[in-house]
């Protein structure tokens, strides 16, 4: 009897193998079919002209960048508002909508986790990338300083000096030589010089006639552009996978942010060594806090969006100047 069963099993082995293959194939096809049905019901896209143009990149035939295309769509919209279904984004230039979102009911329109995730590697937990209690706390800290007459006067002095000693002479030199220059690049250099001097008390000297190359400025530009391109991706999974394996644009983003972080660490460490002077740049204007015993001051990040996690300032009451 045992011999007969063994012989039967040997003869039926090919049949069992075929059955397993058929069962696996059926299960796989059924899973794929179910997934497609699920996706089609979600339907993260539509057949409207805007979504079709975005997915096929047809808008690039008429417009240089996405902002120009959005502007074109907003001009055509009778309400001044458009909805990009494939991105699940709403874009508006309606004055009443803007006032409602940014002023009247600002607390009802948080940036949300998707937005914070996109810019998280660049802005960290800075004021422009957080919501709720954290945003409110950082806003109060920033308002204390930025509303100061001393700080405003200092900012005005920086801008006037940059215009008088660099911007005007630069344009005069090119005008006399009848040369063409990139105005957008000049304004970028002008802004970067002012931001660095106002924030750190450090002059990168980007706006000179020789147009020197700044590794920090280039790194920040690269990081900003790649972070912005994340938002254009049809799915966040794409850039998250690239970040996981450190490939492509995400690798370039990581390298650029490392350059920015290295610079901030160096300048902050130097300031700690020599002490925070009485100058009026944001890094020098620190906060004082009452501590018990030998407890040290705790540095709190997150004042600006210029660099990841903002500027390090001590929490507490502002010193009277």
Q: What is the DSSP string of 17-47?
A: HHHHHHHHHHHHHHHHHHHHHHHHHH----S
Phi and psi based region of residue 241 (left: phi greater than 0; alpha: psi -120 to 50; beta: remaining): alpha
Give the integer Cα–Cα distance in Å for 315 and 173. 47
Confidence of residue 61 (pLDDT cuts 50, 70, 90): confident
What gap in Å lies between CA 125 and CA 137, rounded to an integer? 12
Q: Are both 48 and 191 inside the same structural domain?
A: no
Q: Are residues 181 and 281 in the same domain?
A: yes
Q: What distance in Å separates the CA atoms of residue 31 and residue 132, rounded to the nearest whole number?
A: 41
Asked if 272 and 198 sit in the same domain, the reply is: yes
| Count of structural domains within the chain | 2
289 and 234 in a common domain: yes
3-state secondary structure of 186: helix
Instruction: With respect to residue 2, please indicate whether it lies within any of the assigned structural domains.
Output: no
Query: Do the domain assignments include residue 8?
Result: no
Q: Which domain holds residue 73?
A: 44-109
Whether 160 and 96 map to the same domain: the answer is no
17 domain-assigned = no
Question: Could you tell me if 161 and 296 lie in one domain?
Answer: yes
What is the DSSP secondary structure assignment for residue 129, as one 8-state letter? G
**Is residue 31's pLDDT more than 90?**
no
φ, ψ at 313 (rounded to 5°) = -130, 145
What confidence score (pLDDT) does residue 141 get? Answer: 80
**Is 234 part of a structural domain of the chain?**
yes
The answer to whether residues 95 and 192 belong to one domain is no
Q: Is residue 80 part of a domain?
A: yes
Task: Note whether 63 and 149 are same-domain residues.
Answer: no
Q: How many CB atoms lie within 10 A of CB 125?
A: 16
Are 156 and 274 members of one domain? Answer: yes
pLDDT digits (tens, 9 = 90+) for 286-309: 543 333 344 443 443 333 434 444
Within a domain: residue 127? Answer: no
Mean pLDDT across 171-183: 90
User: On the CB side of 90, how many CA atoms lie within 13 Å of its CA?
Assistant: 10
Q: Write the CA distances from 225 to 67, 221, 257, integer angstroms.
A: 13, 6, 12
Q: Work out the pLDDT band at 77, boundaries 50, 70, 90.
A: very high
In a domain, 39, yes or no: no
pLDDT tens, position by position, 224-237: 999 988 987 877 88
139's tokens: 């806003």
**Cα 258 versus chain centre, distance:** 15
Of 84, 109, 134, the position where a domain reaches its end is 109
Q: What is the mean pLDDT of residues 37-64?
A: 73
Per residue in 79-109, pLDDT tens?
A: 999 988 877 789 999 999 999 998 899 888 8
> Residue 32 pLDDT more than 90?
no
The answer to whether position 204 is within a domain reads yes
State how far the Cα of 91 lies from the Cα of 73, in Å rounded to an integer: 10
Could you give the C-alpha distances from 258 to 28, 124, 277, in angstroms and in order? 44, 13, 27
C-alpha distance from residue 141 to each of 14, 103, 317 (Å) = 76, 19, 9
Nearest to 311 by CA among 163, 151, 106: 151
Nearest to 243 by CA among 113, 112, 111, 120: 120
Provide the terminal-to-terminal Cα distance of the chain, rounded to the nearest Å: 103
**Do residues 206 and 68 share a domain?**
no
Cβ-contact 220, 253 below 8 angstroms: no
Looking at the structure, tell me whether residues 87 and 167 fall in a common domain.
no
Q: Which residues contact 116 (CB under 8 A, 6 or more apart)?
A: 129, 130, 131
| Residue 312 pLDDT grade (very low, low, confident, very high; cuts 50, 70, 90) | very low
Q: Which residue has the tokens 């002479």?
A: 169
Shared domain for 208 and 65, answered yes or no, is: no
Alpha helices in 63-148 (DSSP H): 66-76, 95-99, 112-123, 132-146
Residue 313 belongs to what H/E stretch?
strand 313-314
């Amino acid at each position: 009897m045992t011999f007969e069963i063994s012989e039967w099993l040997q003869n039926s082995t090919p049949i069992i193998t075929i059955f397993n293959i058929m069962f696996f194939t059926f299960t796989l096809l059924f899973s794929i079919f179910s997934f497609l049905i699920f996706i089609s019901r979600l339907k993260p896209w539509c057949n409207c002209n805007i979504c079709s143009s975005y997915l096929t990149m047809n808008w690039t035939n008429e417009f240089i960048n996405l902002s120009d295309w959005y502007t074109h769509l907003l001009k055509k919209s009778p309400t001044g508002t458009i909805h990009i279904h494939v991105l699940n984004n709403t874009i508006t230039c309606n004055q009443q909508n803007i006032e409602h979102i940014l002023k009247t009911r600002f607390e009802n329109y948080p940036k949300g986790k998707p937005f914070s995730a996109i810019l998280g590697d660049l802005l960290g937990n800075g004021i422009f990338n957080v919501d709720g209690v954290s945003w409110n706390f950082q806003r109060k800290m920033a308002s204390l300083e930025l509303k100061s007459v001393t700080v405003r006067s200092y900012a005005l002095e920086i801008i006037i000096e940059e215009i008088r000693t660099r911007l005007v002479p630069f344009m005069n030199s090119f005008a006399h030589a009848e040369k063409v220059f990139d105005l957008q690049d000049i304004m970028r250099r002008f802004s970067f010089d002012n931001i660095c001097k106002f924030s750190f008390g450090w002059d990168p000297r980007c706006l000179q006639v020789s147009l020197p190359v700044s590794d920090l400025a280039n790194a920040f530009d690269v990081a900003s552009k790649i972070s912005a391109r994340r938002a254009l991706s049809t799915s966040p999974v794409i850039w998250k996978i690239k970040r996981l394996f450190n490939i492509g644009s995400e690798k370039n983003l990581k390298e650029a942010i490392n350059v920015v972080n290295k610079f901030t660490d160096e300048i902050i460490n130097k300031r700690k060594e020599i002490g925070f002077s009485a100058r009026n740049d944001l890094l020098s204007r620190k906060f004082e806090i009452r501590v018990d015993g030998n407890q040290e001051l705790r540095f709190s990040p997150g004042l600006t969006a210029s660099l990841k996690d903002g500027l390090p300032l001590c929490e507490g009451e502002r010193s009277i100047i």
